Structure 1
Amino acid sequence: MSFTVEAEAASLRAPQYLGYAAGDAANNLAFSMTSMFLLVYYTDVVGISAAAAGTLFLVIRIWDAFADVVAGRVVDSTMTRFGKFRPFFLFGAVPLMLLSVATFSVPALAEGGTALLLAYLTYGVLGLVYSLVNIPYGSLASAMSQVPEERGRLASFRMIGTATTMIVLAVVVAPQIKRFQGDPEGFQQSLLVTTGIFAVAGVLLYLFLFRTAREQVHREVPKVSLRQSLATLRRNRPLVVLCLSSLAFLCGMFTMQTVQAYYARDVLQNANYIILLTILSSGAIFAVAPFIPRVVRSIGKKRGFIGFGLVGVVGGAVITAGPASLPVVPLVGFALLGVSVAGVNTLMWALEADTVEYGEWRTGVRTEGTTYAVFSFTRKLGQAIGGAAAAYGIGVGGYVANAPAQPDSALTWIAVTAGLLPAAFIGIGVLLFLRYPLTEQTFATMVEETRARQAAAADGSGERTAT
């Protein structure tokens, strides 16, 4: 399958942006459900200790990271009548959503010592199938447009899809955590119904993405060999810097997301605060998203990334320093951290797409699948380290599952894990990103030179055919 230069120049319209947002909303019905609530589920319903759950997160999410690399190779070697990426949404939606239900059904399927084994199995298979859907989804953006503003807008809509889903999850699940505190069987039954409804919604959202997505950026090589993929990666310095910086940032983000439910319920003494914290930390994208294209035009993606990161450092420090007796202070901290997460995450997706262009500029081969897979590999490592850090943090503090009140040491460590630890991770990410080499002018030059090379090759091919 080939894509014409005319299609390449076509502007994206509302259905493409909305469809792309729907795709990440569907992704997060599985992904954010686990990052936000799986630790609470494992400790308070399944009965797994915080330390054992932390090890589980570390092992399975590292496994997920390697699954991403495999999925990237599958994507790069695929080309069908539906395109390179769209078939994965069509055929992967139902298995992924059913596995999400199974992951939150452990006590209903096993008891005693086998419950931990089943937790490893269900979460591990969920991660594998998620990779086979998410890697094509993330790779799709670089094939939809090469215009920086359109890529920024796609990234913004993606984050809007993420934030909307996370807020819905908080609104639906947080009252269940409060209602069924001390009643693991009731919580299990409620989650089974909830994840079943989410599964149906997720499938419908993926079908909308499949219907609206447009793959229109020209590619010289439809199917990319392993050798070509590795050659592109070896010469892609911007991707390496982006991955290392993103790894640090995401460690902080996932640490905060994982422990957020504990902070609301145990530190602020009200599980319904989960809704407000999620709105502040995730819903900030609705305020930030409209300004992302303007940020890209005015100061560029690199400076924007650094600026938003510094806001997160301040926000994390405020969360830990803010007294629980005066909730408005930590709430301000969560709001600042939310602005940081919204800005950095949005720019991160646009930056990843730019590294695809850099790889093609250097080698002549577009490797969206493998490039995104390597980037996603670091995201999964961030989720692994962040989730494990959250679990170990509350474990060190002496967290007691289903206790009516937590010891002071546990409350202190929950506050540190929710704020100070993410701030440290994000600060490291900012320092690393100072080495990122691409500017907006460099990117524009790369795209122009790549198109000129393609046009020259096409003219040469036409001349040879004519003679």
Structure 2
Amino acid sequence: MSTEAPGRPRDLTTRDYLGYAGGDAANNLTFMMASLFLLLYYTDVVGLSAAVAGAILLVVRVWQAVTDLVAGRFVDLTTTRWGRFRPYFLFCGAPLMLLGVALFSVPGGLSASGAALYALVSYAVFGLAYSFVNIPYGSVASAMTELPQERARLSSYRAVGQALATVVLAFVVAPQIQTSPNLQRSFTTVMIAFGVVGLALYVTLFRTVRETVPRDAAPVTLRQTLAAIGRNRPLVILCLSAILVLTGMFVLQTTQVYYARDVLGNANFTIALTVMTVLGQFAMVPVVPRLVGRFGKKQAYIAAGLLTAVGGIGIALSPPAAPVAAIVSFGVYGLGIAAIQALMWALEADTVEYGEWDAGVRTEGSNYAALSFTRKVGQGIGGGLAAWGLGVSGYVAGAATQRQESLTAIRYLTGFAPTIFVGLGAVVMLTYPLSEARFRQMLGEVVARRATRTRSAGSGEAPAD
């Protein structure tokens, strides 16, 4: 068996980290835009009912989970002179940005059913394109380095990229919601501008990242891939936790703008809530690698889940007349969820080595796709649950004031959902089997096997393992 080594392993540089962070900033100019504002766009601009909009979010996000698996399989079969992952940034970035514009440009004059159909199809096609950018993006981290602390640092920089994009969204979009005389025109114009910036960031990502971790050049069959994922216990447990965490996280993200506008009384509070959450993400950038070095990824993940739950309680119970309490609670939530997000990606990269150690095959794309599949399921459940909660509470799109039942439902959805679901996700991780010491031992065995295969391939002998 031959071995493909795209490059010689080296220490990651600031250029690598910044390029990688820029890639997730580009991802979130479309993805986070949809997470934060698509439900509001559907209900208050397009005029869809909360029930129909919620059904679209649920169906399409589950569809996106399936497209993630398809993209992961394509990635694992890709071999080019640019590597396995980088070509997708170059060739799929532009279509994704164009589809982002289409997503927030439902044509006027359509019937209710026509608008719903356009929304469903445009979001589904957008989701397909996003899978073919995001799966290679997430997978490339495990091909850039095998060092746990470098992986943790990559995950932290990724969180910075997401945070910067989220802040930009809040500052640009929230004032439009509050004051724009033509929200449809505003959404379309904003998405065109984001598309230009996002494409530049994808080109920069392509030019900066390098795939240096050796992997077997022989293609991995679908049967081998499915068998390896099914027996990868760390990956399975991480995926179960991810469903729960993302459910709680996306209820909050979906209802946050309603919380700001209807509970606190001004859509511009979205900026303050977002900034506090993002400040937590920035604060965690230097902290996460240190937590990993001292306590390990598993223990840090569980502690971050508990901190997130505390922030959620504060969000739910903060009096509407005291917005400072809500803003501070969003900051606490931001600290916890930022650490979980960074650690989740670092833990996923470790499951790649576990699969290679346990099953003898290295499937970066499929491992990442499996985690992304479960995350998308959680996102779909979270978005659908948020819309369902709004509908049941009697929310009226475009109304100057909402019923007290609706305001209470928004508060409790925004706060108690992450408390319950993220807390349960942390409990699931108590069964995660890889400690840092076990991972180092396992990685040493994997490296030794690779060296044996390389020597055997050079001498013409069959490998001993």
Task: Please give the range of the TM-score, normalised by the shorter of the 2 chains.
Answer: over 0.9
Q: Secondary structure, in 3 states, of the residue corresponding to 1:216?
A: coil
Alignment of 1:73-152 (within 5 A): 73-108=73-108, 110-152=110-152
Larger mean CA deviation between 395-404 and 42-51 belongs to: 395-404
| RMSD over equivalenced CA pairs, Å | 1.5
CA displacement at 1:461 relative to structure 2: 2.7
Aligned partners of 2:52, 2:322: CA distance in 1, in Å?
Answer: 34
Amino acid at match of 1:104: F
1:50-449 correspondence runs (5 A): 50-108=50-108, 110-180=110-180, 183=181, 186-449=182-445
Change (3 A) 1:270 1:5: closer
Amino acid of the residue matched to residue 101 of structure 2?
V
Partner Cα distance (1:38, 1:212) in 2: 32
Contact 1:110/1:118, CA 8 A, preserved across alignment: no
Moved more, 19-28 or 324-333: 324-333
**With structure 1 as the length reference, what TM-score do the two structures score?**
0.96
Please say if residues 300 and 440 of structure 1, whose CA atoms lie closer than 8 Å, have aligned partners that are also in contact.
yes
Deviation per residue, 1:188-231 (Å, 9 max, x gap): 01111110000000100000000001000000235322122112
**What is the CA deviation profile of residues 322-355 of structure 1, one whole-angstrom value per residue up to 9, with x for unaligned ones?**
1011112222221111111100000000000000
Deviations 1:52-101 (A, max 9, x none): 11111111100000010011101011111111000101110110000000
Structure 2 CA distance for partners of 1:108 and 1:83, relative to 1, 3 Å = farther
SS at the partner of 1:282? helix
Aligned residues: 461
CA distance in 2, matches of 1:305, 1:413: 29
SS at match of 1:106: coil
Report how far residue 462 of structure 1 moved. 2.8
Alpha-carbon distance in 1 for matches of 2:397, 2:346: 41
Whether 2:456 is the aligned partner of 1:456: answer no
Alpha carbons 2:100, 2:195 under 8 Å: kept: yes
The answer to whether the 8 A contact 1:79-1:222 is kept is no
Judge conservation of contact 1:26–1:206 (CA < 8 Å) in 2: yes
Shift of the 79–47 alpha-carbon distance from structure 1 to 2, 3 Å rule, reads same
- What is the identity, as a one-letter code, of the residue corresponding to 2:43? T
Q: Which runs of 5+ in 2 are unaligned?
A: none
- Taking a change above 3 Å as real, the CA distance of residues 222 and 295 of structure 1, as seen in their structure-2 partners, is farther
More displaced 10-residue stretch of structure 1: 194-203 or 101-110: 101-110
Opposite residue 34 of structure 1, the aligned amino acid is A
Alpha-carbon distance between aligned partners in 2 of 1:464 and 1:223, rounded to the nearest angstrom: 20
User: 1:430, CA displacement in angstroms?
Assistant: 1.1
Q: C-alpha distance in 2, partners of 1:5/1:125?
A: 32
SS across alignment from 2:460: helix
Residues 51 and 387 of structure 2 are in contact (CA less than 8 Å); yes or no, is this contact kept in structure 1?
A: yes
1:391-411 deviation per Cα after TM superposition (whole angstroms, max 9, x unaligned): 111112111111111111110
Q: Structure 1 residues 216 and 85, CA, compared in 2 at 3 Å: closer, same or farther? A: same
Counterpart Cα distance in 2 of 1:42 and 1:222: 47
Within 2, Cα distance between the matches of 1:203 and 1:343?
A: 28
Q: Deviations 1:101-123 (Å, cap 9, x if unpaired)?
A: 00000134844420110000000
Other-structure match for 1:33: 33
Whole-Å separation in 1 of the counterparts to 2:225 and 2:461: 30
**Residue 465 and residue 241 in structure 1: after superposition, are their counterparts in 2 closer, same or farther (change >3 A)?**
closer
User: How big is each residue's C-alpha offset from its partner over 1:147-202, in whole Å with a ceiling of 9 and x where there is no partner?
Assistant: 0111011000100000100010000000000003xx5xx00011111100000001
In 2 relative to 1, CA 73–109 (structure 1 residues): closer, same or farther, beyond 3 Å?
Answer: farther
Structure 2: how far apart are the matches of 1:460 and 1:91? 37
TM-score when scaled to structure 2? Answer: 0.97
Deviations 1:236-258 (A, max 9, x none): 00000000011101111111011
Worse overlay, 275-284 or 302-311: 275-284
CA distance in 2, matches of 1:111, 1:192: 20
| Secondary structure of the structure 2 residue equivalent to 1:403 | coil
Question: Mind listing any 5+ residue stretches in structure 1 that lack a counterpart?
Answer: none
